[in-house]
Structure 1
Amino acid sequence: MERTQVGIIGAGPAGLVLAARLAAAGIDSVVLECRSRRYVEGRVRAGVLEAATVALLGELGVDARLREQGLVHDGVHLQWRGERHRIDFTGLTGSQVTVYGQQEMVCDLIADRLAAGRDLRFEAEVVDADGALGALPGRADGGVVLRYRDAAGAAHELACDVVAGCDGFHGIARRLVPPSALDVYDRGYPYAWLGILADVAPSTDELIYAFHERGFAMHSMRSPTVSRLYLQVDPDEDLAAWPDERIWEELQIRLGVPGWTLTTGPVRDKGITPMRSYVAEPMRHGRLLLAGDAAHIVPPTGAKGLNLAVADVKVLGDALADWYATGSPAGLDAYSSRCLARVWRVQDFSTWMTTLLHVDPKGDPWDRRLQRSRQDEIVRSRALATNLAENYVGLPLP
């Protein structure tokens, strides 16, 4: 049986950033990812990085391409009733965000890990674990055995001191915890996002979040030549009913303001993503520690999912480094509560942004009028605009 200090399930941002932090502290880890490298590096996800996330990647020495290709944004555009309003992040908070595709960040982390000769195993599907449910009295007491299958179906075992579950909402890590040991908070939304990735230069200098009576729309980007755009649709919408021409036409209607034109181009990828909020707590169960989407999901409106995962593993990496250096489990004992304090603040902001900008299909007149009042107040109140900016650029890392 092979052995490592920390077994990491999942080679997404959470797992890879944690692995890099552990390596910097001299702690050995093995990353097990059930998908292929091609799949992991190709999946299109988030693209807005908080300043603290950028700084952490710099500390880890994996920010060369990010610094070269990332698009630094000093603000964001909010739009309703045919008018566009800019929220000045730098003026209000002194901070910025950087647009850099999650898949690019993942590619950088994978390349760095493999170049250093550190263990990263693709098409390695964890199917079970023993020992993860015990207490954590000391490094020499017990441990965890991860059982996984490789691409050929052969069975393997990996012994670990602890396991970090960084394998996303649908992964196995959270399912290793007995349901009775988790408190689950779950909220669905009556709308979804139809997203496209298009090979066309962005028609905006900064992101546009647009409220329209026909539904929310958003204009983002991934590079000076690639645009990322979204439309609010019903959760059960049929993607086949949305040919490219219809998507571009609807985007023009919802994003349009006088004197501005949306540039169209070839659509490289499109899909529909349901929206939900989810938290499973606590985030630690004995020697199993959950991080990122394995423990919580936020609606994408606030651009927080990736950044929240990075915040989790910063806390976890620090706690593990202290445990190995001193033998004290204090950091690991506090891991869940420290992370959840931030998780719930981010849930609040993401829910607020979502309800501020989406059209509720129930069409309750009271809620619509309150929504309009909130939108007007953001434009009128510097304090409210500052609160939005502070949350968007990112709360301080724990």
Structure 2
Amino acid sequence: MKKLQVDVGIVGAGPAGLTLANVLREHGITAIVVEKGTRQEVETKARAGLIEHRTVAFLERAGLATELLANGMTTDSCTFIHEGEAFSVPYADLAGGRKHHIYPQQFLVRDLIATYLGRGGDILFAHEVTALDGAHGAQAATISASAVDGAESVEIRCDFIAACDGSDSIAHRAVPESIRMPVTHRHPFRWLALLAEVPPFVNEIVYGMHPTNGAAQMPRTPAVSRFYLQIQDGEKAGDWNDERIWTALGDVLVVKDHPVTTGVITEKTIIGRSDHVSRNMQHGRIFLLGDAAHTISLAGGKGMNLAIADAEALAAAMAAYYGQDDERPLGNYTTDRRGKVWKAVLFSHWLINLLHSAPGDVAQAAFSNELRIATINELRSHGPTARMFAEEYAGE
């Protein structure tokens, strides 16, 4: 077994882990990133793409936004479609000019990998973590990982472990549930997530609302869109052929009988996760970031932005520890992040209930639809509800 020693062991080469690794390196703090996927897999896996202005500003300060700024798109409004009527909410105008950048997550991951390796960083791709120990009182933490190709296994000795590898991982489970104290909410519907060779309808996100389901079209590049379509619990991706998909999307995203543009669907997956939020994001020498700490619904595009904000906060706390011998920021990591996480959950929960129709009896559906219409009227008026939406959607 090969033995390595660094200041911080990072599990997961996603936005949180790679951002943390890059910022730590600029502070002179050594780290190794352990990732179970190959470099090609993590650089091509399509995920989120809506990046808040605050996230972009932080990445720019850290020297991590060059490609994003050069090649990403910006958007300052979003479109809602309800019963064939489309209207735009200029959220940047209502939120002090705060815009979003649109840049596929896999592109950002690719950039972060290239920058980290270019700065002399170390990433162990295709290595699966088999054990880790970061308990209270231990003089050091350890990560054990096996190479997928059967090569020599690795043991990493470190001061701290950053778990950035998602909600169903060994690093996440290394913090006992009794310590994490998670709270969970199961949504009564799921989503079919699609990547298609379809130009964006407009250069902004389009949310479609329908009495029986909801849908969205999100720009990824000038020629590619990501679609989300509400489906029933229990349905499988195989139940949806291309014809059925485009028919259902056309029912929701139609504008005055103009059909939705169709194209080649290159990816089709089911998203059906529950909101799952850890009330405690640290234990001993282990810190949870991103989906390892909190998974929330896709509404509002908050997940990746929260993950990068976690990395920003933890990097600053570790810089204080190593640079100033100050342990307090590390001890306050959960406290500092909790309020911002729940603020995002609150908005996401509000938006997802606006956009989607919950299964139920006819009376419940009618009541839900009337609430939706009332909210739409408020959004159209650019009054208090629209200003609340703009502030929370754009982010701080």
What's the TM-score, normalizing by structure 1?
Answer: 0.94
Contact kept in structure 2, 1:214 and 1:254, CA below 8 Å: no
Deviation at 1:374, TM superposition (A): 2.6
AA paired with 2:126? Answer: E
Contact 1:51 1:394 in 2 (8 A): yes
Partner of 2:381: 380
Q: Distance in 2 between matches of 1:86 and 1:54?
A: 24
Is 1:356 equivalent to 2:359 in the alignment? no
Partner of 1:223: 221
| 283-292 vs 376-385, which moves further | 376-385
Offset at 1:116? 2.1
1:240-284 Cα offsets, whole Å, 9 max, x none, are 221112211221121111164422111111111114211112101
C-alpha distance in 2 between matches for 1:314 and 1:280: 18
Aligned twin of 1:138: none
Determine the structure 1 residue equivalent to 2:266: 268
Residue segments in structure 1 that go unaligned for 5+ positions in a row: 136-140
Using the TM superposition, give the Cα deviation of residue 21 of structure 1 relative to its aligned residue in structure 2, in angstroms: 0.8
CA drift of 1:380 comes to: 3.1
State which of 21, 26, 29 in structure 2 corresponds to 1:27.
29
Q: Provide the rounded CA distance (Å) in 2 between the counterparts of 1:34 and 1:280.
A: 23
Tell me the distance in 2 between the aligned counterparts of 1:378 and 1:34.
44
Q: Which amino acid letter does the alignment assign opposite residue 167 of structure 2?
A: F
1:295 counterpart (273, 293, 296)? 293
- Separation of aligned partners in 1, 2:178 and 2:93: 47
* Equivalent residue in structure 2 for 1:146, among 126, 143, 146: 143
Secondary structure (helix, strand or coil) at the match of 2:167 reads coil
4+ residue runs over 6 A deviation? none
- For residues 312-355 of structure 1, the C-alpha deviation after alignment (integer angstroms, 9 at most, x for no partner) is 11110000000001111110011101111101010000000001
Please report how far the alpha carbon of residue 381 of structure 1 lies from its aligned counterpart in structure 2 after TM superposition: 4.9
| CA distance in structure 1 between the aligned counterparts of 2:391 and 2:225, rounded to whole angstroms | 25
Instruction: Please provide the CA RMSD for this pair.
Output: 1.5
Out of 9, 17, 20, the position equivalent to 1:18 is 20
* TM-score, scaled to structure 2: 0.95
1:208 matched to which residue of 2?
Answer: 206
Q: Contact (CA 8 Å) 1:275, 1:300: kept in 2 or not? A: no
Question: Does the 8 Å CA contact 1:203/1:261 hold for their aligned counterparts?
Answer: no
Whole-Å Cα distance in 2 between the matches of residues 62 and 184 of structure 1?
Answer: 32
Identity level (%): 36
The alpha carbon displacement at 1:40 in A equals 0.8
Give, as a single letter, the amino acid of the residue that structure 1 aligns with 2:315: G
Q: Distance in 1 between matches of 2:296 and 2:62?
A: 26
Corresponding position of 2:256: 258
Could you tell me which residue of structure 1 aligns to residue 339 of structure 2? 341
Would the alpha carbon gap of residues 259 and 236 (structure 1) be closer, same or farther in structure 2, given more than 3 Å must change? closer
Structure 1 residue 64, shift from structure 2 partner: 2.3
Amino acid at match of 1:95: R
Paired letter, 2:209: F
Letter in 2 for 1:34: K
Structure 2: where are the runs of 5+ without partners? Answer: none
The question of whether the paired residues in 1 share the 8 Å contact of 2:84 and 2:257 is answered with no
Question: Aligned equivalents of 2:94 and 2:164: distance in 1?
Answer: 34
Mapping of residues 107-186 of structure 1, within 5 Å: 107-130=110-133, 132-135=134-137, 142-153=139-150, 154-186=152-184
Secondary structure, aligned partner of 2:161 = strand
Whichever residue aligns with residue 328 of structure 1, its letter is: D
1:302 match: secondary structure: coil
Q: Distance in 2 between matches of 1:372 and 1:275?
A: 27
On the 8 A contact 2:7/2:30 being kept in 1, the answer is: yes
Distance in 1, matches of 2:169 and 2:86, equals 40
Q: Tell me the number of residue pairs that the alignment of Structure 1 and Structure 2 aligns.
A: 389
